[in-house]
Amino acid sequence: MIFGEKFRKKYALSEAGEANVKRGVLWTVITNLLVMAGIGILYMLMQGYMATLVDGAPLPKVPLYLLAVVAFLVLSFLTHYQQYHYTYSVVYDEVGHVRTSLAERLRKLPLSFFSHRDLAELTETMMSDVDRLEHVWSHVLGYLYGGYISTAIIAVMVLAYDWRLGLSCLWGVPVAFALLFGSRKLFESYALRAKTAGLDVADSIQETIENMREIRATNQGARFLADVGEKIDTFEGKQTAAELRIGIFVNSASVIMRLGMATTVLVGARLILSGQIDFMTLFMFLLMVTRVYAPFDQSLALIAEVFVSDVSVQRLNEIFDTPIATGSETFEPAGHDVVFENVGFSYDKQGEATLENVSFIAKEGQVTALVGPSGSGKSTCARLTARLWDHDAGSLTVGGVEVLDVDPEVLMSDFSMVFQDVTLFDDTVMENIRLGRHGATDEEVLAAAAAANCDEFVSRLADGYATIIGENGARLSGGERQRISIARALLKDAPIVLLDEATASLDVENESKVQGALSRLLAGKTVLVNAHRMRTVMGADKVVVIDGGHVVEQGSPSELLAAGGLFANMVSLQSKSAG
Decide if 514 contacts 502 (C-beta within 8 A): yes
The confidence band for 110, taking pLDDT boundaries of 50, 70 and 90, is confident
Q: Minimal CA–CA distance to 470: which of 422, 429, 426?
A: 426
**CA angle at residue 298 from 297 to 300, to 5 degrees?**
65
pLDDT at 191 over 70: yes
Decide if 39 contacts 76 (C-beta within 8 A): no
Q: Note the pLDDT of residue 337.
A: 92
Q: Minimal CA–CA distance to 539: which of 558, 554, 520?
A: 558
Decide if 46 contacts 298 (C-beta within 8 A): no
Q: Note the pLDDT of residue 403.
A: 93
Q: What are the backbone angles phi and psi of residue 340, rounded to the nearest 5°? A: -95, 130
Q: Model confidence over 381-423: pLDDT tens digits?
A: 988 998 888 888 999 999 999 999 999 889 988 998 887 778 8
Q: Note the pLDDT of residue 515.
A: 67
Q: Note the pLDDT of residue 226.
A: 87
Lowest mean pLDDT among 109-118, 365-374, 449-458: 109-118
The confidence band for 350, taking pLDDT boundaries of 50, 70 and 90, is low
Q: Note the pLDDT of residue 508.
A: 61
Q: Note the pLDDT of residue 52.
A: 63
pLDDT at 53 over 70: no
Lowest mean pLDDT among 213-217, 225-229, 330-334, 465-469: 213-217
More confident of the two residues 508 and 131: 131
In the DSSP assignment, the letter for residue 109 is S
pLDDT at 360 over 90: yes
More confident of the two residues 187 and 528: 528
Q: Note the pLDDT of residue 544.
A: 92
The confidence band for 148, taking pLDDT boundaries of 50, 70 and 90, is confident
Helix (H, G, I), strand (E, B) or coil at 438: coil
Decide if 542 contacts 554 (C-beta within 8 A): yes
More confident of the two residues 116 and 385: 385
In the DSSP assignment, the letter for residue 541 is S
Average pLDDT for 62-88: 82
In the DSSP assignment, the letter for residue 501 is S
The residues spanned by each domain of the chain are 5-321, 338-414+494-578
More confident of the two residues 547 and 62: 547
The confidence band for 578, taking pLDDT boundaries of 50, 70 and 90, is low
Q: How far is CA 527 from CA 32, 132, 367, 494, 540, in A?
A: 70, 48, 5, 11, 9
What distance in Å separates the CA atoms of residue 400 and residue 335, rounded to the nearest whole number? Answer: 8
Average pLDDT for 319-336: 87
**Topology of the domain covering 5-321:** ABC transporter transmembrane region fold (1.20.1560)
More confident of the two residues 123 and 407: 407
H or E element at residue 183: none
Q: Note the pLDDT of residue 254.
A: 82
What one-letter code names the amino acid at 540?
A
pLDDT at 355 over 70: yes
| pTM of this structure | 0.68
Q: Note the pLDDT of residue 92.
A: 79
Neighbouring residues of 130: CB distance < 8 A, sequence distance ≥ 6: 95, 98, 99, 102, 312, 316
Q: Note the pLDDT of residue 48.
A: 65
Q: Model confidence over 529-574: pLDDT tens digits?
A: 887 777 678 878 899 999 888 999 999 888 888 888 888 888 887 7
Decide if 500 contacts 379 (C-beta within 8 A): yes
Q: How far is CA 86 from the centre of its chain?
A: 25
What distance in Å separates the CA atoms of residue 547 and residue 371, rounded to the nearest whole number? Answer: 9
Q: What are the backbone angles phi and psi of residue 360, rounded to the nearest 5°? A: -170, 165
Q: Note the pLDDT of residue 290.
A: 76
What is the average pLDDT score of the chain?
82
Q: Quote the percentage of the chain above a pLDDT of 90.
A: 11
What distance in Å separates the CA atoms of residue 245 and residue 238, rounded to the nearest whole number? Answer: 11
Decide if 479 contacts 513 (C-beta within 8 A): yes
Burial of residue 360, with CB atoms counted within 10 A of its CB: 0-12 exposed, 13-18 middle, 19 or more buried = buried
Most confident of 11-15, 243-247, 265-269: 265-269
Q: What are the backbone angles phi and psi of residue 402, rounded to the nearest 5°? A: -65, 125
Q: Note the pLDDT of residue 361.
A: 93
Q: Note the pLDDT of residue 55.
A: 61
The confidence band for 179, taking pLDDT boundaries of 50, 70 and 90, is confident
Average pLDDT for 520-529: 81
pLDDT at 132 over 60: yes
Helix (H, G, I), strand (E, B) or coil at 555: strand
Average pLDDT for 81-104: 85
Q: Which CATH superfamily is domain 338-414+494-578 in?
A: P-loop containing nucleotide triphosphate hydrolases (3.40.50.300)
The confidence band for 313, taking pLDDT boundaries of 50, 70 and 90, is confident
Average pLDDT for 180-189: 77
CA gyration radius for the chain?
35
Q: Note the pLDDT of residue 483.
A: 84
What distance in Å separates the CA atoms of residue 383 and residue 375, rounded to the nearest whole number? Answer: 14
Most confident of 112-116, 197-201, 260-264: 260-264
What one-letter code names the amino acid at 544?
V
The confidence band for 475, taking pLDDT boundaries of 50, 70 and 90, is confident
For 374-417, what is the HEC assignment? CCCCHHHHHHHHCCCCCCCEEEEEECCEEHHHECHHHHHCCEEE
Q: Note the pLDDT of residue 339.
A: 94
Neighbouring residues of 418: CB distance < 8 A, sequence distance ≥ 6: 482, 485, 486, 489, 497, 498, 499, 500, 502, 518, 521
First-to-last CA distance in the chain?
79
| Angle between helix 279-292 and helix 221-273 axes, rounded to 10 deg | 170
pLDDT at 195 over 90: no
Decide if 65 contacts 45 (C-beta within 8 A): yes
Q: Note the pLDDT of residue 406.
A: 92
Average pLDDT for 111-138: 78
Q: Note the pLDDT of residue 305.
A: 72
pLDDT at 455 over 80: yes
What distance in Å separates the CA atoms of residue 19 and residue 10, rounded to the nearest whole number? Answer: 15
More confident of the two residues 441 and 72: 441
